[in-house]
Amino acid sequence: MPSAKNSDVFKSWVPDWLILVGIFLFLIPIASVLGIYMAGINSAASYYGIDAIDVRLSVVIFYLAIVCAFPIEKHFFNRFSSRPYLVGCALIYVAINLILYSTSSFAVLLILRFFGGVLSLSFIGISFSMIFRQFHAQRSRVLGYATLYSSLFATAPLAQILDAYVFTEYDFNTIFLVKIYALIPGLLLFLFMLKPKIDLRPEGKIPFKNVDWKSFVLLATPLILIAYILLYGQYYHWLKSIRITLCMIAFVFFTMLFVIRQLKLKDPYIDLGVFKTRNFRIGMLLLIAFYFAKGDTSALYGFFGNSVNLDMYNQGYVMLINAVGIIVGAALTARFILAKMNIRLIWITGFAALLGYHLLSLNVLANQAEMSDLLLPLFLQGFGNGSLILSIVMFYVTAVPPNIGFSASVTGVAFRFFTFTASMALVSFMSLHQQKVHQQSFAEHLTADNPIAMQHIAEYSQVLQQEGNLVESPNASNALLSREVGKQTNLMFVRDYFIYMSVFIGVVMLAIALIPHFHYHIRKIGAKLIPI
């Protein structure tokens, strides 16, 4: 039988353990949709006839939709009864993915990824309300956030393994059918367990006339523009391009319109009063620092493939240790927050884990690295992610008055979107810049009068001849040498990036330690927090 906290929602025969299974079967497929095809960027680019940067844009568009639709979704959630709302969202989800399965238009992909991001809020909102019910009221906020963020962050390696299988065995568009199949078990189990006439609406029925569509458009427009600028700025040489310049002007213009509108509205879409709170501003700065410090896992993927010789399957399996670290970090942080541990110590511990990840990775970054050498650094990276995302979110959400707490959550998601996109752009910029620097350095030494370079070319020629290849010209051996130079320049870029990030994280930790006082209003999480 369900416990008292679930008896008004689930049928009388449903045990609590089955409720938890249902929640995670329903949530995990939705959580993995953000970057569902990131492990198959080349497959996606080939299928749509686009560049890799365009594929990243489609991922960012999904995240962007979550940000700008966050305040609108609560109107839909409170407009319809919960069960029909869930079924309706599932049908739209299936329709979107069937259309994506049947088309190879990149424009259609972008449009439907945007609507898919809006739709995902409905599923996450229902899952979130169910998760909160599973914990004691006085600690549900901390444990609910811990469970949600652990699930959202830890699904990445699972999605990567799934990607590797699908893109190896099937055409790219099969991934959209897989998304449908992955949702069905959790959805059916949910519908089977829920009471027929449940109603989870916390605010009652809200008419659509109260939806601020103008603010939605004014928020979505500058977010799309800044995403385009960050992702394509280097491609078009930044402000040297009239396209990027016009996008920048338009971004400033629409941002100002949005801010002016929010200041004039009696019931704003996002209450900008959140920025009047000192601790909220500190929370946003920490969020930016955290996302830049954590956003470099992608820099390792080239190293995984070139130097450790891991295919996409094994990369996903190795990243499972990262998911374990996320879960452990979030669980321990929740325990420490409930025990009223100094929040500054939690932050220093989280950033110290990320620093350990970078420093240990610098020792691993070599041509002879083994897969086992990656496990501890990746666990530390996951631990730091789980610890920091939970502690920072709890800090800035509880820093503002309860009446604008929702605006604090929305603003936090907006900052996470911006920094997620900016960190992706930074990795791309550093990759091109540093690899170019190292290529020029290698080119200065790869000359005909360099005996070491000539020795390597002779060795490559000998290997090719032994394998039965005809090498009447030095082109084949030169190509092998060029490939090895490419591996080395990528390796040097990753090392440079990790060194810079290590210095950055050290500065952040020093700032946290030296700031004299953080006002952490932990009492706002609950009147009486019960340690677990």
Residue 225 structure tokens? 């523009």
Shared domain for 509 and 421, answered yes or no, is yes
In this prediction, residue 473 carries a pLDDT of: 47
Same structural domain, 192 and 48 = yes
Same domain? For 190 and 275 the reply is: no
Do 329 and 190 reside in the same domain of the chain? no
| Claim to verify: residue 33 and residue 134 sit in the same structural domain | yes
Same domain for 192 and 274, yes or no, is no
Average pLDDT over residues 438-455: 55
Domain assignment present for residue 203? The answer is: no
pLDDT in tens, 343-360: 889 999 999 999 999 898
Q: Is residue 215 part of a domain?
A: no
Residues 191 and 274 in one domain: no
Is 264 within a domain? no
Half-sphere exposure of 519 (CA within 13 A, CB side): 9
Residue 260 in this model has a pLDDT that exceeds 90: yes
Q: Are residues 293 and 181 in the same domain?
A: no
CATH number at residue 487: 1.20.1250.20
Query: How far are the Cα atoms of 136, 243, 356 from residue 234, in angstroms, in the given order?
Result: 50, 12, 31
Tell me what pLDDT residue 364 has.
Answer: 78
Same domain? For 288 and 159 the reply is: no
Conformational region of residue 304, where left means phi above 0, alpha means psi within -120 to 50, and beta covers everything else: alpha
85-115 pLDDT, tens digit each: 888 888 999 999 999 999 999 999 999 999 9
Decide if 212 is inside a domain. Answer: no
| Per-residue tokens: 275 | 């920025």
| pLDDT value, residue 263 | 92
Question: Which domain-ending residue is among 196, 231, 255?
Answer: 196
Let me know if residue 408 belongs to a domain: yes
Share of the chain above pLDDT 70, in %: 75
Q: Is 350 inside any structural domain?
A: yes
Which of 177, 196, 215 is the last residue in one of the domains? Answer: 196
* Range in 66-75, 166-175, 513-522 the model is least confident about: 513-522
Q: Do 478 and 361 have their domain in common?
A: yes
Domain for residue 111, yes or no? yes
Q: Which pLDDT score, from 0 to 100, does residue 528 have? A: 43
Which of the listed residues 165, 196, 227 is the one where a domain comes to its end?
Answer: 196
> pLDDT tens across 10-21, in order?
888 888 888 888
First to last CA, the chain: 24
Which of 171 and 485 is assigned the larger pLDDT? 171
Same domain, 331 and 458: yes
Please provide the average confidence, as pLDDT, over all residues in the chain. 79
Question: pTM (2 decimals)?
Answer: 0.85
Would you tell me the crossing angle of helices 16-31 and 106-133 to the nearest 10 degrees? 160
Per-residue pLDDT reduced to its tens digit, 300-350 = 766 666 666 666 667 777 778 888 999 999 989 988 888 888 888 999 999
CB 364 within 8 A of CB 373: yes
Q: How many domains would you assign to the chain?
A: 2
Q: Is the CB of residue 301 less than 8 Å from the CB of residue 429?
A: no
pLDDT of residue 394: 87
Q: Looking at the domain assignment, is residue 252 inside a domain?
A: no
Using a pLDDT cut of 90, give the percent of the chain over it: 21
Task: Write out the DSSP string of 109-129.
Answer: HHHHHHHHHHHHHHHHHHHHH
Structure tokens at 402: 């309860």
Residues 319 and 403 in one domain: yes
For residues 420 and 295, the answer to whether their CB atoms sit within 8 Å is yes
Q: Which structural domain, as residue segments, surrounds residue 485? A: 270-531
Stretch 353-378: mean pLDDT:
80
